[in-house]
C-alpha cells in the first residue's frame, strides 16, 4: 500500500509529553552513564598505552581502532548472550534493563573514547614533554603535562563517544527490549525505551510524524551536548 | 658545579656516537658558549648535561657526584638545580603565568598544588615572587594573564626563559635560545643571560651565532662532529684559534 504523508495537522498518536520526557530521561541516563564509564576506562587505557612501551603495542592500538567501527548489533548480541539467564552473567538479572543498555553502550563508546584520546596523547609534541621534564618534572608530572596538552582532543573523544552512544539503536534494542510500562493511571512511561528505539517503533507503526518529533528531540539533545562540550573546550584554552 | 667528563652518546643507530669524549664544566657566574655548526651534537650534549639520558661513556657530575649513580629521587632533586631553555617553542597551551610558574609548581607536593589550584579559583591568579621576578627580567610581567598561544615566537621564548629562571637554578642550559628570534627579543634574552650570570648562575649556551658568542660568552668551546676541537676564553679563541677547522668555522668558511 502506498504511504501517504500528511504533515498537517500534526498528530502524535497517543503520545503524551510525560511519555516523551520519560524516554528522554532514559536516553540521557543510559548514554551519559555509559559515556562517563567509558571516559574513565577509555582515558585510562589511552594513558597506559600512550605512556608505556611494550611488545604488541601496535596490535593493541589496532584492536582499539577496530573497535571504533564494531557493529552495534553484534555488541548487542554478545551482551545478550552474556546477560541471558543461561549466560555467564545471567545471575545479575540485568537483561532488558537500562543497566544492560549501559553495558552495551559502554562497550561501543569505549574504543571511540580510547582511540581518539590515544591519538590526542600521542600527537602532543615531544618538546612539551621535554620542557616539563627539564623544568624539574617527574615522570608523573610529564604525563600530567602531556594529558593537559591533550585536553582538547580528549574532550573531542568524550563527545565522539557520546555521539556513538546516543545515536546507537541496534544493541539497545536487543539488550533493552524497547520496553515501555503502563502506570496504574494509564500513563505510559519508558523503562528501556530510548529515543532511537522509540523512533524505530514509531516508524514501523507508520507514525512518521511522531518519529520526526522524536528525531528532532534526539538531534537537539546531541547538538546541545556537543555545544556544551565545545564551550568547555574553549574555556579550557586559557 | 655541573661537569661532563669524557662523555659519549649515540642514538643507537649505525651513524655512531653523536657526542664523542666531551669534557666541559658549567661554572658559577660564568657563561660558556658552545659553538659549532648545526647537527654537530650541541643539543645532545646539553641533554646529557640536563640529565635526560645517561651517557654511553663518561660521567656527568653534579658537585662532584656522578648524577647517574644517584637514586631516581635524588637525581630529580639534582635535576631541579638545572634549568633549560630549548630552541623550539616549548610552552604549554595555558597562561603565561602557569608556564612561567610550572617549574615551581612541580616542586610542590600534590596536596599543595591542589590547594594552590583552589586558591586560584577562589582568589584569582596570583604570582609567586620568583615567577614575577623572572617575568620582570624578560619584560613580560604585564602579560602574565595572556594565553601562551597568543604570544609571538620571541615572547614565547622569553616566557620559556622565565620558566627556567623562576626556579632559581644553579645552572642554565640554553639550546640556541635566540636562533628564531628578531634582534629585539634576542637582545632581551642576552640581557637576561648576563643578569643570570651576575647572580652567580653558571650558563652554558649553545649557539651557531659567532657574534652572539662573542657578545655574551666568557669562555667558548668549539664543537665539531660531536667533539670539542677548541676551547678557551672567548676573546682568545675568536682572535687566534689554534685549530684549523675552528678557524674556518669562526671565519664562516666551514660550510655544512
Over 90: is that where the pLDDT of B246 sits?
Answer: no
On whether the CB atoms of residues A24 and A194 are closer than 8 A, the answer is no
CATH domain B2-250 topology: Rossmann fold (3.40.50)
Over 70: is that where the pLDDT of B256 sits?
Answer: no
pLDDT tens-digit profile of B128-140? Answer: 889 999 999 999 9
A87 class by beta-carbon count within 10 Å (0-12 exposed, 13-18 middle, 19+ buried): middle
Q: How far apart are CA B146 and CA A40, in angstroms?
A: 32
First to last CA, chain A: 60
- Position A4 scores a pLDDT of 62
- Position A1 scores a pLDDT of 56
Over 60: is that where the pLDDT of B32 sits?
Answer: yes
pLDDT tens-digit profile of A101-138? Answer: 999 999 999 999 999 999 999 999 999 999 999 999 99
Residue of B nearest to A126 (CA): B90
pLDDT tens-digit profile of A5-24? Answer: 554 555 555 678 889 999 99
Averaged over B241-249, what is the pLDDT? 83
pLDDT tens-digit profile of A46-56? Answer: 999 999 999 99
Q: How far apart are CA B189 and CA B203, in angstroms?
A: 13
| Percent composition of chain A: helix, strand, coil (DSSP 3-state, to 5) | 70, 5, 25
User: Which residues neighbour A91 within 8 Å (Cβ) at sequence distance 6 or greater?
Assistant: none
C-alpha distance from residue A168 to each of A31, A106, A172, A222 (Å): 9, 11, 7, 12
- Position A6 scores a pLDDT of 53
Residue pairs spanning A and B at CB distance below 8 A:
58
Which band of pLDDT confidence, cut at 50, 70 and 90, is reported for residue B210?
confident
Percentage of residues of chain A with pLDDT beyond 90:
81
Coil, strand or helix: which one is A148? helix
Which band of pLDDT confidence, cut at 50, 70 and 90, is reported for residue B56?
very high
Averaged over B164-188, what is the pLDDT? 93
B7 φ/ψ angles, rounded to the nearest 5 degrees: -80, 140
Asked if A123 is an interface residue toward chain B (Cβ–Cβ < 8 A), one would say: no
**Which H/E stretch holds residue B59?**
strand B57-62
Q: How far apart are CA B29 and CA B24, in angstroms?
A: 15
pLDDT tens-digit profile of A67-83? Answer: 998 999 999 999 999 99
Over 80: is that where the pLDDT of B33 sits?
Answer: yes
Average per-residue pLDDT in chain A? 91
Residue of A nearest to B94 (CA): A238
> Please, what is the Cα angle at B198 between B194 and B203, to 5 degrees?
60
Averaged over A20-41, what is the pLDDT? 96
A95 φ/ψ angles, rounded to the nearest 5 degrees: -65, 140
Query: What are the beta bridge partners of residue B9?
Result: B19
In this structure, how many other beta carbons lie within 10 angstroms of the beta carbon of residue B153?
Answer: 13
- Position B116 scores a pLDDT of 85
CATH domain A17-235 topology: MetI-like fold (1.10.3720)
C-alpha distance from residue B82 to each of B1, B73, B78 (Å): 10, 15, 7
Nearest residue to A166 (alpha-carbon basis) of A94, A115, A225: A225
- Position B205 scores a pLDDT of 96
Q: How far apart are CA B11 and CA B39, in angstroms?
A: 13
Contacts of A134 in chain B (CB under 8 A): 50, 52, 82-84, 86, 164
On whether the CB atoms of residues B194 and B216 are closer than 8 A, the answer is yes
CA distance B219 to chain A (A): 24
**pTM exceeds 0.90, yes or no:** no
Over 90: is that where the pLDDT of B243 sits?
Answer: no
Averaged over B32-61, what is the pLDDT? 93
Over 70: is that where the pLDDT of B193 sits?
Answer: yes
Over 70: is that where the pLDDT of B249 sits?
Answer: yes
Q: How far apart are CA B130 and CA A109, in angstroms?
A: 46
Contacts of B172 in chain A (CB under 8 A): none
- Position A8 scores a pLDDT of 52
Residue of A nearest to B167 (CA): A135
- Position B126 scores a pLDDT of 74
Domain map (residue ranges) of chain A: 17-235
User: Taking the CA of residue B204 as centre, how many other CA atoms within 13 Å lie in the half-sphere pointing to its CB?
Assistant: 27
Q: Is B164 close to A130, i.e. CB distance below 8 A?
A: no
A231 class by beta-carbon count within 10 Å (0-12 exposed, 13-18 middle, 19+ buried): exposed
pLDDT tens-digit profile of A174-226? Answer: 999 999 999 888 888 999 999 999 999 999 999 998 899 999 999 999 999 88
Over 80: is that where the pLDDT of B142 sits?
Answer: yes
Q: Is A135 close to B167, i.e. CB distance below 8 A?
A: yes
Compare CB distances from A127 to B86, B95, B147 and report the shortest one's residue: B86
Compare CB distances from A131 to B90, B94, B147 and report the shortest one's residue: B90
pLDDT tens-digit profile of B86-101? Answer: 998 899 999 999 999 9
Q: Which residue has the higher pLDDT, A236 or A168?
A: A168
Q: Is A136 close to B50, i.e. CB distance below 8 A?
A: no
Averaged over B190-212, what is the pLDDT? 92
Amino acid at each position: 500500500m502506498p504511504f501517504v504523508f500528511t504533515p498537517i495537522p500534526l498528530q502524535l498518536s497517543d503520545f503524551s509529553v510525560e511519555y516523551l520526557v520519560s524516554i528522554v530521561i532514559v536516553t540521557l541516563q543510559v548514554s551519559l552513564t555509559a559515556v562517563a564509564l567509558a571516559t574513565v576506562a577509555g582515558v585510562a587505557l589511552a594513558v597506559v598505552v600512550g605512556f608505556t612501551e611494550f611488545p604488541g603495542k601496535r596490535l593493541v592500538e589496532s584492536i582499539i581502532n577496530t573497535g571504533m567501527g564494531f557493529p552495534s548489533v553484534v555488541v548487542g548480541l554478545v551482551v545478550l548472550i552474556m546477560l541471558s539467564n543461561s549466560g555467564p552473567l545471567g545471575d545479575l538479572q540485568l537483561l532488558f534493563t537500562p543497566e544492560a543498555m549501559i553495558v552495551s553502550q559502554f562497550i561501543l563508546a569505549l574504543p571511540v573514547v580510547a582511540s581518539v584520546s590515544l591519538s590526542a596523547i600521542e600527537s602532543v609534541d615531544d618538546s612539551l614533554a621535554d620542557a616539563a621534564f627539564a623544568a624539574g618534572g617527574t615522570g608523573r608530572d610529564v604525563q600530567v603535562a602531556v594529558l593537559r596538552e591533550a585536553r582538547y582532543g580528549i574532550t573531542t573523544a568524550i563527545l565522539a563517544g557520546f555521539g556513538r552512544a546516543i545515536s546507537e539503536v541496534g544493541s539497545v534494542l536487543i539488550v533493552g527490549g524497547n520496553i515501555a510500562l503502563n502506570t496504574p493511571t494509564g500513563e505510559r512511561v519508558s523503562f528501556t525505551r530510548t529515543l532511537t528505539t522509540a523512533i524505530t517503533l514509531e516508524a514501523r507503526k507508520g507514525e512518521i510524524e511522531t518519529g520526526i518529533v522524536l528525531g528532532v528531540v534526539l538531534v537537539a539533545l546531541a547538538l546541545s551536548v556537543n555545544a556544551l562540550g565545545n564551550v568547555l573546550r574553549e574555556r579550557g584554552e586559557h | 658545579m655541573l661537569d661532563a667528563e669524557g662523555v659519549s652518546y649515540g642514538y643507537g643507530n649505525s651513524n655512531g656516537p653523536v657526542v664523542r669524549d666531551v669534557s666541559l664544566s658549567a661554572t658559577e657566574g660564568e657563561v660558556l658558549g658552545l659553538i659549532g655548526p648545526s647537527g654537530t651534537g650541541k643539543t645532545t650534549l646539553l641533554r646529557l648535561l640536563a640529565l635526560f639520558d645517561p651517557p654511553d661513556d663518561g660521567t656527568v657530575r653534579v658537585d662532584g657526584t656522578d648524577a647517574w649513580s644517584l637514586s631516581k629521587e635524588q637525581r630529580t632533586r639534582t635535576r631541579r638545580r638545572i634549568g633549560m631553555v630549548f630552541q623550539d617553542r616549548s610552552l604549554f597551551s595555558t597562561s603565561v603565568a602557569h608556564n612561567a610558574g610550572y617549574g615551581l609548581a612541580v616542586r610542590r607536593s600534590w596536596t599543595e598544588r591542589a590547594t594552590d589550584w583552589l586558591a586560584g579559583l577562589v582568589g584569582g591568579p596570583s604570582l609567586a615572587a620568583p615567577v614575577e621576578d623572572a617575568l620582570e627580567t624578560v619584560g613580560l610581567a604585564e602579560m602574565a594573564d595572556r594565553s601562551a598561544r597568543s604570544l609571538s615566537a620571541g615572547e614565547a621564548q622569553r616566557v620559556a626563559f622565565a620558566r627556567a629562571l623562576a626556579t632559581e637554578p644553579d645552572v642554565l642550559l640554553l639550546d640556541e635560545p635566540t636562533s628564531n628570534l628578531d634582534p629585539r627579543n634576542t637582545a632581551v634574552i642576552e640581557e637576561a643571560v648576563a643578569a643570570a650570570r651576575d647572580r652567580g648562575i653558571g650558563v652554558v649556551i649553545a649557539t651557531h651565532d659567532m657574534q652572539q658568542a662573542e657578545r655574551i660568552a666568557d669562555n667558548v668551546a668549539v664543537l665539531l662532529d660531536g667533539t670539542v676541537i677548541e676551547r678557551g676564553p672567548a676573546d682568545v679563541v675568536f682572535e687566534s684559534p689554534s685549530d684549523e677547522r675552528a678557524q674556518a668555522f669562526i671565519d664562516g668558511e666551514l660550510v655544512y
